Amino acid sequence: MDRGIKIMNFTKPITDLIKERTSVRSYTGKPLENDVKEELKHLLENNSFNNPFSKFASNVRFELITMSEFDPREKRRLGTYGVIEGAQDFIVGAVEKSKYDREQYGYILETIILAATDIGLGTCWLGGTFNRSLFSKKINKKSDEHVPAITPVGYWDKKNSRDVAIRSSIKANKRFPWSHLFFEGNFTNPLIQEKTAEFSTLLQMVRLGPSASNQQPWRIIKEVDKNIFHFYIVYSRSGNSQGYNIFRRLDIGIAVSHFNLSAQELGIQGNWFIDEPDILGSENFLYIISWKGDN
């Protein structure tokens, strides 16, 4: 891992939290308890831990926005109606525009979401189904910033069957097989799970990550006989798909967070770098970042 990357302190194994995290769309409406709110605010204010993208991207900031901050007219314009019910608080962030701004934002917000999961809170990535201008106004977005995504945060209403129905309709629990996501040497040679040894868990945690419309756009190439992994996203050159490309950059930030946090927990040492390799079959993919193991 990059020397100097601050390791998040979770009370549960990160691999358990990744498995436990789910998209919660129904909340009890109960306000956050004061100690929980203070812990969450402290986390948001101290999110400046280094990550694989921090030296390539600009600053990110987050705020906890409560429903009481919206007037009745604004509440009707949140843009989350029919998607989120009962949420009383939202985590809203802004990132300064830069080449890797969305990847950095995705990494940090997913780390915050896993920390929220650790203290018993529900969350749900929202990249499109919210009133971006309204939430941007609430956190005083500057001209050189944008708000890529937000998440409600609160207590899950497990008695509400909506979540189960929605997850079933979008097949949220379905994941592509290894052979569809991970490769060795090039994009035509699937990576055999049994050959990945200690890295199997890291890749499995990537596989379990959330993504926009559950598209799972991440693809990883392992170099032959080397512990070097190159991270890509499925990328469309068509103008009609640019919106999906934007969300996929958030998704790869999530994937990198799962890989990196799991490596830290398991004591697997390595370094992140950006240096696009010449790999056969990469025409329909966008290179993002690479990781090299120390051993």
3-class state of residue 212 by DSSP: helix
Separation of alpha carbons 109 and 250, rounded Å: 9
Q: With a threshold of 0.85, does the pTM exceed it?
A: yes
Domains identified in the chain and CATH numbers? 14-167 (3.40.109.10), 178-293 (3.40.109.30)
| pLDDT tens per residue across span 147-177 | 999 999 999 998 776 666 665 665 567 899 9
Nearest to 53 by CA among 294, 291, 292, 295: 291
With a CB cutoff of 8 Å and minimum separation 6, the contacts of 225 are none
Dump pLDDT digits (tens) for 226-272. Answer: 999 999 999 877 655 666 788 999 999 999 999 999 999 999 999 99
